[in-house]
Every structure is written in C-alpha cells, then in structure tokens.
Structure 1
C-alpha cells in the first residue's frame, strides 16, 4: 500500500439492492465485473452514497429511477407483490474500512438507512469509527438461513454501544467522513468530481469541462477585507437601492395621484357643467316662453286689430245690404255705389299700410341676401328659408313671427359683440401703431450709427454720469457691451450673448470711482442699473477654449469681468463634450451646462449688442421686426374695417318686434283682391241695366255681409285659441322662474365649492356645446362612468401606497386620496435629502472598497492566477512525461478578451513591483489605469453573479493541446477542434486525463488521504493500448480506482490492477466472488 494514501480495504453491504450481506475485500484498485443487472453500478452507488451522500445513482446509464428507498427495499422493477425483496421495516448498512499508514490504524465509515414502511421516505445516519475494523461492529447476526440486522440504536463497536450523537445527518456526516479520510475540499465539490469521473460523459465544451473539473474554485479566504468592505458597500447600496425603490414607488404614487387629481378635476368640471347646463337649459326654456308670450301677444293684438277692422267692414256691409234692400232703384243704386266707394277707400288705406309693412319686411329679406348675409350663416339652417321669403306670401304668420324674433335677437347680440370687438381692435391698432413708431425711431437711431440699449439702463447711466460731473469726477461710465470690441468667431455670438443676458448692460467705471458709483445707485434708487465692482475683480488670464477667449476687449476692467463671467464656460461642439464639463459649458445651439445642471436657452429673443457689426445686425433685426409688426397692423386694420361695415349694416335693422306686421304680405294680397271686387261691382252697377243692377247689388251685398260675418266668427275663434295658449305659457313662465332659482342655487353651491375650476368649466362647456350643438352636453350616465373611473383610480392609488408602506415599513392604513400630501412630503424628504446623504456615504464606501479591491482582490487574484498557471505548468510537465500511445497532452490556458481590463491593470502593476498598495500610494496620474480600475470595479459591483469575477477560472478560456507523433513528424491540434473528427478512443482519453487531473485537486500530494476514483463502464471506447496507458497513469498518480466493467473487459483491465471481484446472480440475490470467474458461471 502507498504510504501517503488511506486505502479502502473492505466494503460491507447489508440489505442494499440485491446484496443481502456481502463483505468484499479491496486490495488497492479493484475491478467489479459481471453481466448486466448483476449490480456493478449498485456497488459504486453504495460507495459514493456513504462517502458523499450522492443520490444521482447509475448516472453513467442515465437511470433516473434508482432511489435510496428502491435500493434498501430491493426493487426488482417487476410487477406484482414480489417486486420488492424486502417488506415491512428494513434496516440497511453500507460500510467501508480504510487503512491509514501514517496513523497505523484502521478506520470504518458507514451509513445506516432505516425504512419504516413501503410509503415513508427512508432516513439515513452517517457515522465514523476510528481505530476499528468492520468485524468490530455488530451490523448483523446470521443464524443459519436467517439474518438479523442490528437497529441503529443497538449498534456496537468492540462491544460498546454507539451514542446517538455519533450518528449524523447527510451534510455533517459526509463532511466528517471526508475529513476523517484526510480531504479538505467541500463535500459537494468532491461529490461532483467523483460522479463526473464515474459517469464519464464527454462534453463538446472542453473549456467548461477543464474549468470546472481541473481547477480549484476561486473563492479565496484572504479576500476577507474586500468582502467586509463589499458587505458594508452592499449594506449602504441596499440602503440606497431601498431609498431609490422607495423614490421610484413614490414616483409611481405621484403619477397615480396626478391621474386621480386629473380625473377628480374632470369629474368636478363635468358635475359643474351638469348643474350649469340645467341653469342654461331652464333659461333658454324661459327665453323660448318669453318669445312665445311676446309672439302670442303680438298675434293677439293683430287679431284684435283685424277684429276691429272687420267690425267696420261688417257695419258697412250691413248698411249696404240695408240700402240695397230698402232704397228705390236710383237712390239705392247711388247709395250702393257711394257705399262701395267708401269701402274701396277704406281698403285702399289698409293696402297702403300693408304695403308699407311688406316693404319693411322685404328690406330685411333683401339685406339677408346682401349686406347682412354673413349673419344668416350664424342662424339655424331651418330659419333661413323662412327669413329669405319674409316679405312674401306663403309661410305661416306664426312661423315668420317666430323666426323674425330670433333674427332680431341675433342682430342685437351681434351688435353688442361687434362693438366690443371694435374696441379691442382699436386698442390693438393703437399698440401696433406705437410699436411701428418705436421701431421707426430705432431705425433712425441705427442709421445715425447709434447702437440700441435698454432705455432704462441708458437713463440710469446718464444719471451716474451727471452725478459724477456735479462732483467734478471725470470718469467714463459705460456698459460692458460698449467695451466689447469684437468676437473672434461670430458663430458663437448668439449663444454667448444669450448666456450673458442683462449682464451685457452692467455698468463699468474705473475702479477708484466704483464706490462712488455705488453711492449714486443707492441714493437715486436706480433699480434698472447694475454697477460692476471693478476694484475687487480678480486678475486672471483667459482660459483657452472658454467663452471668454471669444471676446476681444481692450479695457482692463471689462476684460477682468469677462474672464470672471466666462472663463468657467467651456465652448463645446457636442453633447458628449458638454457632458464632460458639468460646471460650465456652452454649445452654439444654446445648450448650457452650469453648476451640474443643463438647460436649453431661448436665443430667439436676444438682441445683439456686442462687437463692431452689432449695429448692422440690430438694423437687420429691427427691419424684420418692423415687417412683422406692419403685417400685424395691416391685418388689424382689415379686421377693424370689416367690423365697422358689419356694425353699419346692422344699424338699419329695427329691433322692435311690435313695429313689424308679419301678416302684411298675405293681408295685402287679400285686400287687393277685395278692392278689385268692389271696383268691379261699382263698374257693373254703373254699366248694368237698372233692375239687373239693383238685384245683383242686393245679392252681392248680402254675400259680402255673410263673408265678413264668417271672417269675424273665425277671428273670434282664433282670438280665443290665442288667449288659451297665452294662459298656458303664462302659467309655465311662473313655474320656470322657480325652477331657474333652484338650479341657480344648486349651481352656486358647486361653483363656490370648486371656484378655481369655473373658468376651465366654462371653456370646456363651450367646446362641448359647439361640438354637440346642444345646451345639455353632460348626461347622468357619463357622470356615473367618470365616478366609476375615479373609484378604479383610487384603488390603483391605494395599491401603490400599500406597496410603498410594505417597502418603507409604514402604516398601511395611510392610504387613499387624503394621504396624497403625506406621500409628496415623503418624496421630497427621500429625493432631496435622504437619498443624497446615502449616496454620499456610498461614494465614500466605494473609495474604501476600491482600496480593498486593489490591495486585496487584485493582488490576491493576480497571485491566485499565478499559482493556477504554475499548477497547470506542473500538470503539463507531468503529462509530457506520460505519452498515450503516439499522443501527448497539454492544458492550454488563455486570457479572455472580456477580462482585458483586469489583465491590463495587472500588466501596469508590474511597473509598481506587482504591488497594488504601492500604486495606490503613488500619484495615480495614469488616466487609463484609473479608468480601468473604475470600470472593472463597476463591472464587479454591478454583476449579480459575484463568481463571474471572484472566480479566477472565469478569467481564461481552456483547451487541451494534443501532439501526435507520426513517424518523425509531430502534428499538434486542439481538442476543441477535433471533437467532430476524432475516434471514440481519441475523444475519451483526453477527458479521462482531465477528470483524473481534476480529482487530483481534492487529494493533497503531501498529505495522507484517501485517493479514491470510480469508473463505471470503464474505457468502453478505448483501445487495449490506451487502457494500459490510462490504468498506468492512474496507478502512478496514487489513485485507488474502483472499476465497473462487463466480463468481456476483464482481459483488457483485470491484468493491470491488483484485484478483481466477480458479481454472480444467485436466484433473486447477488453474491460477490473474489477473483475471476468463467463467463458461463456468472449466471449460475
């Protein structure tokens, strides 16, 4: 046995799968062989379970159905009651015995598995017995064909019962076992490496395979300081992120609050409209009633007048009839003619009046087609046909009267509106005229070569000059703009002048008179002037690339002031450049960065006043302004002219409805017809024979009398109808007044409640009314929908508020619209105070972390990478000494491009004796190095998976270089590139080497420890030569390998190892036989 290896010497399986009670001697590396189903993999599963708690059983065959419970109960995978070899309560043991040459004693490790029944999950307990052998423990007792398995609580070692504390769970138990075996790696990593070698599943990703299976993980204990700093940084960052999350949540709350307020405002406006429209609707109804009442009153007057006229006609017709019936022939005829002429005269008088009334209506009718045709467009479409035939017979008098009332009302309103519009246009005309006058004045001043400055500053400047003159002071008082001789690059003019603003008009006086100028400023209360304190200005040079460099200023004081104002303003050509100068920078398009804030200046209104060509530029600007104002003035004049013409056209319209007789056209036609009848009758009487004439006169007189009588009766009926209708409207007029009062009271209540919304409400109502052409524009249904939407918005708001309370640990009862001010205060406190304080702490901690990063992380990582490279070099040297057939192998380790920053940092640290501390204490003037450190730090701190950067293995790509000797020629190729073309043997051999090298990492070379390796279905694709080389490689590296292979592989493997164990199926169970067994005996 090897002197630095704890060698497994025995394996005990009690009630494990088909093994009832089997104790197997292990002499170094051992081959387990047997036909399929005999239990080769079962043995390997047992050993890996007791060593590491592995439950990924038979992974080489990818059999996922094997479980601890199945192994303990002896699951044969058959159907029926005989599926399980063991029923009821079952106790199983797996134990391994090891010999330690360093300690000169044996060691037993084991696991007890208890399965109470077929349903419950089994429980496992691991144990370690030092200075003991398997036969020292009473695992079971065999009496003839009966076997009694010792329960865990009765298990003894050398006659002494084990204590319950000596039995451990999976995590602690397997950790104690591998520590007892001399291993110091993590159980999970050891388990992973054992399983990978046992299952042996070659992958296409050779890079990942080498990184995970060969190299040690990169979690280094010496990074404690960095971890502590990182924990502190993470703590502060967590605080910052919590505050940021709170801030973001408060922003969401604010958005929901604004949505709520908008919807609440809209609802309030619509509720106001709902009340307001009722007032208007009632008022409109009242107006309609008033129109109807007025219309009926007028109609009644007209009917009564007609009734009077008819009464006269009736009297005349009666008199005519009496004369025709009682007079003698001649006198009767004469009196009849006189009577008819009298009636003709009366009708002619009426015709004259009706012609006058008809002419009046025709004038309005004509005006609506000519000078006031524009007014017709503002009336309802239904009114136009009636009004356009107002002076003609055809339409009913009632309809004419109604539309005429509407027209007169519209005329009156338009007159008031146009008068108001005329006043407004007259005011605008005056303003535009004053602007034109002022611009003309400015042009004359500029033509006189006088630059334009603000008038109030010019006046203040003169006041100071006058005050100086009174005191005998001979000193210039000038504006800063007057002292700027020129600009070097005029393309910067607009931006610089806009930035300077009113500072261009600040007054510059000689330093020794500065205090005196300040006194004048104070005494005269010159609010429009600002005096520069020139005697206190610092003396400085012009900064290259600044705005100050653009100004050519001979005056010393003005130069100093320009430097003070503009030296800190860097001129930039792009936003990226602007971003690099947050304290002060400017772009030609007006983008300004100042005091770590950015704005976009409005340069359109800036009046140029710097430089020699300022006058010409001002002229151009004034002319452009004058043209704009002149166009505006002309437009005002045109509008004013049109308004006056409209006012004039409306003045000829009589607004008194009583002055119009809408029935005149119809009555005119009737009376003209009647007049013609009377004239014809006179003519007939005069031309007829006496008797015929008298007879006919009697007939006609009677008929005329009857016709007038009939008309009078009809008129009485119409008067009665009119009075009845008038009474109904009068009653409604009384009621509508009360309804209006009630609606106005309700509206006034809501108006006072939402007084600030009145203007917005009126504007919204106008829009809706114009769009819908209705008085009532808001319905109760629409209000219900708005209220429902508001309720939903409140729910969303409360949900956001509750989420914030969960994050911030606030009382969740603080929710609802009433708490909107509370959350806004929370936002101000967090966004403006707390988050800034924590951010400052975060920056401080970041600096500490950077120091720890360089002094610990980078230094340790660099050292660890160096050790890894040395280890790879050592493995490569060893691999070089062990050729595999005609091939030799070599690990390749190349830096990843995405880790360029780290390797660049390490490269530059070579100039500081590879000492980060030495660099951190230096001047640190290398900008690229500083940028690399910051970027790499940011990458690490922002990476969610810390192992991406703390695990050195992820800084490289890996491959296996294969060198094949073909005669005298050597051919080299990378394994990653040979995956598709190589034979199975060629593919498997490098992976065995990688896995062996990986497993070696768990076995310290200088320590006495177990060096187990498991290979299932060993070397299935390798040639005999490669098997020999691989077995030899594993033996020379101190591995105790447990192989599992079918009988046909015995000749290839068995002759190179120390012992072979044959597994033979006997009935339903499997037995182990040490040594080789003939092939036909395996199933005996």
Structure 2
C-alpha cells in the first residue's frame, strides 16, 4: 500500500488552539500531515508538544528531552504562565485563569471532523488546577466559542458557557475523556490500552535521552510497564501474612493445648488417686466396722454358748434339785416311816404329785388352744390376699373350753395350717422376686457408678466393649508408628440445634461413636482393626472424602450441626445431608427419599417410621457435663428405687419368717386337753380324800434300811446340786463381763457402721470397688491398710502439686482461671474447645488460606504475568512483521526475545507450557481447578510450589512482578551478507548511528497500537528530533514514518530544521517576543 493510500486511512490532526498555556495566550495554527515545530532554544517548541500530548493523551511528563523538573514543567506552572523570571515569574499568577488546548481531527474516509481538548481552570488563590476534557463530533475549533476578540483584546469563555451550535458541551474526567476521544478516532483499545498507548508516545518522546543496553531498552521502552501483577502480589502477600499469622496462631493454640493436656493428665491422676484414696478409706472403714462386728459376733456366740450352758446347768440344777428334793423327801419319809410307819400315805402322796404334774401339762395345752385366735389374727390379720372368716375366729375362741367340739377344732387347725403354708410360700416368692429386682437394679447402679466415674474424668461413656478395643487400637497404632489423634464423631460436634438434637442423635445412633483420624493414618488403622479383630471400632475413611462437599446442603439435618473439623463435617454431610428437616407429616410425606421431623418421624427409602429416642445425648461442647448431671439424677432415682425395694424385701421376709415360725398343725395341739383337765381335777380330789382316810399303822419292816439308803442318796444329791450352783455362778459372771464388752462393742460397731455407710453413700460410685478391695485386704494387718492409704495420699498430693504447677504455668498467659481442683473443669472445657473447635477451625482457615494463596497466585499472578507475556509475544510478532516489510539502508531488523534460563524462570515456563497444553489460557477455570487438572502431576506441582515459594519469599519481588523480566531482548541485524545481534555489536548506544535501531523499535511498538485494518488516528511526537543523526539517517527515519502512515509532529531547533523541513508538509516557527510567544506558519508566510 503506497503512502497516499495509507494517508486515506489515517485520521490526522489539522487544527490546534492553545490558550493561556505557558507563554502562549491565544495561539491558533493549522497542521497538514506531518509537521515540524521549530524555533530558537527555549522559545516554547516543547511546550506545544506538551500541550498536544496533554490534551490528546493526558501525558503530564512534560519536556522529557529537556529533563525539566516537576516544579518547572507542570499543568499548574503552564496555566499560570511561568516565565522563570525571578522578579515577576507568572504571566497569569494574580488572576482566575481558564485555559484551553483544543485540536481538530479530520476523518478522510467521510470528510468529517471532531474537536477534542481540555479546559483547565485555576482560581488565583488556589494551588490546584481542574482539568475537564471534551470531545465534540462534527465540530471544528472555529465552531466553538472558546474566546472572543475585540481588537487586540481577547476574552476567554468560561467552561460552563462553552457552546457548540448553541448547545453546552459535555465534559469528562481525564481517562474517560481520552478513552472516548481515541475510540472516536477509530482506535479499539482494550483494558489498559490507553495507558499502554500513552506509554509508547512518552517513550518515543524520550528516545535518545538515556543511554542503555538493548536488553534494558526493549524491556523499559518497547513494552509497557504493568503494575497489575505487583498489585496482585501485594494482595497475595497480604494473604501470606494472614496465613503466617494463622500458622502462628495454630502454634500458640497447640502450645496452649499442650499446657492444658498436661493439666488434664495431672487432673486425671488427681481424680484417679482421689478415687483410690476414697476407695481405700471406704474399705478401711468397712474393715474397722467388720472387725468390730466380727468381735461382737464372737462375743455374741460366746455369750450364747454361755447362756446355752447356763440353760443346761439350770436344767441340770432343776433335775439335781428335783433329785435332791426327792432324796430329801424320801429321807424324810423314811425317817417318818421309821418313826411312824406311814408308808401307804406317802405312796398316795406320790400319786397326787404325778396327777398334779399331768394337770399342769394339761393346763399348758389348754392355754395354747386359748391363744389360737390371737395367733391367727397376728399372722393373717393384715393380709389382703388371704382372709380368715369370722366363723373360724368364733370356733377358735372356744377351742380351750371343755364344751368345744374336738373334731371342729381339728378341722379349723388344718385349714389354718394350709393358709399359713400358702402365706409363707407367697411371701417367700415375693421376697425372692424382689431380690431379683434388687440384683438387677444394683447392677444398673453399678453401671451408672462406672459411667459417672468415667464422666468425672471428662471422658465419653462408650458402648459396651468399645473402651477395650479403643485401647488396643491406640496401643497398636503407637507401636506401628502411626501418630494421629483418634477421636469420635461426637467429640468433634461443636454445637447442634437443640430442637433437632434428639432426632439427629437418634438417627445416627452408634455412628456417633465412629472413629475419625487423619487421612494418612487410615490405611494403617484399617490394618489394625482387621488383624486385631476389633469388632466395635467403626473407622471413617477420611482418605476417601475428596468428593464430599464441606458445605452442608441447605435445609438438611446436616445443616443443623456446627462442626469445625473438616472430616467430621464431611461425614455428617454424607450421613445427614440427604435428610430434609420438615415440621409436619405432610411435608415428610412429600420427601419420601429422606426427611426427618423434630419428634423423630423419619422418611427414608420410601419408608416412614418413628425412631425410638436414644437414652443419652452426646453432642455439644457441654455434653459430658450434661450427661454427668443426667447420670447423677438417674443414680439418685435408682438409689431411691433400691431403698424402696430393700424395704419391701424386708417386709416380705418378716412375714415369711413369721409364717415359717408359726404352726397350726393339729398334731402340735392337744384338742382333748379341755375335757381331760376336768376329769384329772376330779381324780386329784379323790386322791386327797384317800390320803386322809389312811390313818392305820403300816408294817415297819425294812423301814430302817430304807431310812439309811435315803440318807445316803440325799447326801449325794446335795453334793451334785452344790457343784452345779457353783458352776452357774462362774458362768453368770463370765456372761456379765462379756455382755458389758458386747454392749461397748455394739456402740462402737454402730459408729463404725455409720461411718462406713456414710462414706459409701457420699461416694456410691466407689462402693463396689471398695467392697472388692475390702475382700482382698480383710485378712491384712490394720497397719498395712493404713500404710497403703498414706502411700496413695502421697501420690495424690504429688499429682495435685503437678496439676497446680501446670495450672500456674497456664495462668501466666491466660486470665480468668482458678488454679485448684474445683477449677479444673474450666481448663478441661477450654481444652475440649481447642480440640474440637479452635484448632480445627484454625487448621481449616490455614488450609483455606493456603488454597486461596495458591488459587490467587495462579489466577491473579501467574495468569496476569502469562497474559502479559502472550500480549508481549503478539506485539513482538507485530513489530517484526512490520520491520520485515521495511529496509533501513541495506539492513533488516527484527526483535528477538529469549526466555530467561534460571531455575525460577524455568519453573514458570513449565507451568506456562502446561497451561498452553490444556487449552485456552483465558479461561479462569483452568487456574481455579488446578488440583483436578494438572496439579496432580508431580513435576507440575513441584514447579508450581517452587515458583510460588520463590516469588513469595523473594527479597526483591519486582524481579518477578514485572512480566518483562522473564525474557532477554536483543535486536537482530541482517544486511544480506552478515548477521549480528545489536547487543554484541555496539553495547550501549550513543550518537546518531546507534540511535536508529531504537527509533525503529519504538516506532514499530507504537504502530502496534494503531489499527491497520481501519481508518484511525496514527500520530507520533518527537522532541529534539534526530539531534545526533546525520541527514541520511534522518531521511531514512522520516521515510520509515512516512511508509507506515504516521503523522509525526517534530520539534527541532533552527540549526537542524533544514534536515527535516523538506520532508514534512507543515513547518511552524515559534516566535517569542518579551515574555510571550506565538506560532507562525512558515508555508503561509512563503505563500504570502
């Protein structure tokens, strides 16, 4: 495409207005295509360049070639009209100023114009200017009332009064206005495009000012600086700081946990030795009580034996007395017979005595019959199951009378005996049944006491058999070198909605005690469960939870849980996430696959049912304390039930014993006694009459022999009686002594029994163990028992001291805790909070933050860097495409980029290569789903981690945040015969010959921002143009600009204008008079 065709597709600057800008008050000049601004040094050439680049591109780096400072060249200084005159520096320093810079842009495609510019306002007492940009399609400068001339006087229109065809202009902020202007000039600049174009314009203006090697030049001048990666990295470093803070927090939490675990260990030792002390004290009290009881029992036995012996002696004494009385009586009789011969009378008297003895026996039998009614009422009177008719009581009331019917009495006795046996069997059975109930409830009490002991140690009460298997699992894991915390699901539930707790725990049931460990420990633990046959251990496979969401489904039962531990959270989501929480049966019916109500109604698998609530609730941070209180209340209730059953058992035993001791068997009663007693009394009266009738003298033969025998017998009986009476006195004294000892011993026994039972009641959970201990040591010496208590007390004191020491260490950095046994629960509660919540939450935050760092590093750093690198490659290709079509003399130039070869950059390009393999690098999902894409490949993962850690830990991060640093740059030169790299052929540049490649590069870079496929603005500015170049090189450069369709605005001093003026369409000269300047169009002067 020839130059004429190119210019038909180039929108050009054609008219310029500069008002109240530096030394220019109201300057208005035309431009045709490329233009040269010339004039004497310091006349104001660069000031026009500054005005145009400020209005069209918003560039505020003024007079770059001259290197003016910010105070010398600024918008404020230009508006105030700084003349650098020390006495009166400002042309407009004491007035309100409105400045205008406006340009007309012509579109050759349709012949239309637009006016673009900036209005700058400054109030005289203000130190800040206000700039407002405007873009007016279809307008020319002459169509807008920027100023009004009256002779030589010029009046400038205020911004609010500015009009185009009578309509007020719209104004923009800088970036918005410039972006709108460039779009209307046919440029399609993406995000950051305005900034990039502005940078290229500035670097072309600065070309030749600094000396630098080609690598640095390309890096800093051809490609635009981009701080996006730096900003992203700042954000990532903030995340890293937060990550490190979390890691430090976790370290502190673990240190706190270690301190609290030491407290817990010692507290458990205190509880252990405290319980053992109580157990031994109870056993000791029982020992002392039982020792005294055994002593008293022995005394009772001795006393009983002595009393039994006394009864024997008394019987013997009675017999001996009777024998003596008989012998004495016989002696007296013999003596009397000797003297009086009255033997027959004595025989009758003997007969009378025998009859009287029989009468006494008969009277005892009659007495027993008379007591039958009272005896029956005593046994049966209070019974409801067995009743005695009044008829029987009536018969019994006459059983001791002579008129009683013997057969009727026997019948009644037989009936009563049957009822007595039935009563005995009934109450004996009740006693046995109550005993069975007592045995069961005592077993429940013992289980409750064991559970209470466990809960008092802040431990969970586990299902039967699990405690032993858990101990095996932990020991085997330790032996196998598996270091992991083994916890239950219920331990890791922090909170649960109270409304849904019963339903949730009932649904989960035994799964609440499933074991959770770290994923890496699962294979080893599974092996132990298998090989050791641990049937009660259910291990959650945390190493297979990758696909389970950590977020509970909305409205599900799982959403009612608060769980910090990620694995417990996922497990609950897995088990309860498909159960929708509903309030009514209708809603339950609408979700047949999975729904639950607070009352335990469940729909699952197209089946509805009502769950039976679990007895013990174990979820929540206060679950152990709640359960402990619940168990204590259950124990109290069971103790009351036990006391009631014991009372019932005693009552049944008393009735059964009374029935056992009582008899109504007819064979045990003489029903003939009442009638026989009447007859016997008559016989006694007859004998008495016969005795009185015998008054005759009997035979006296043998009377003397009888007298001697009776005397000897009497003496022997007297001796036997005296011996027995002496032994009785001795026994009675022993009985009295031992009864005194027993009385004192029983008082002491009662005290010891009360002390033992009081201690047992205070510590019921230790009673059974204490009783077992007593059985083991009951044959030991009392001193050894006391010594054992002292040893345990010493262990208890040591454990208490260790616990207090650990508490004091903890309290040194934590307030609100009381260092004593009663305050231990608060430490343990904090430990539980650390184990189940704080540490888990912090771990989760660390994991999430690490993931955020990796994701953000990938998305907001690597993606940004690589995106800019791809753009840079495209720009390099565009530059080379452009350079390929143009020769500079006999030389062709091309830009070369080579990736840096150090280790860190290799890691980056390894990642970049993999991204390219995956597809579109613009798709953020590529970066956000790294773990499921290529981060599983070890080499890529290593490269990513190495690069990430290198960047985040770098002393100078700018080495990595500047995408331009990832390559080395050079300029390849080919003259058809020889090739060379600019870096090796000339090093740093100086002089015109060496400037050429740099101008070529900058121009090519600039051209990549201008569209080649449409009619658009293509403008460039060169200040101090080609100051070090010769005429041939200047001509070569102008031809290069010309061939690429660039409209170039040059600024050059008078001494070099002859090298440029012949090749441009417009030449204007800056003429300065006094402190002001104006522009003269040289072509117009020549025409005139």
TM-score bracket relative to the smaller structure: 0.3 to 0.5
Give the TM-score, by structure 2 length: 0.42
Give the TM-score, by structure 1 length: 0.42
Which of the pair has more CA radius of gyration?
2
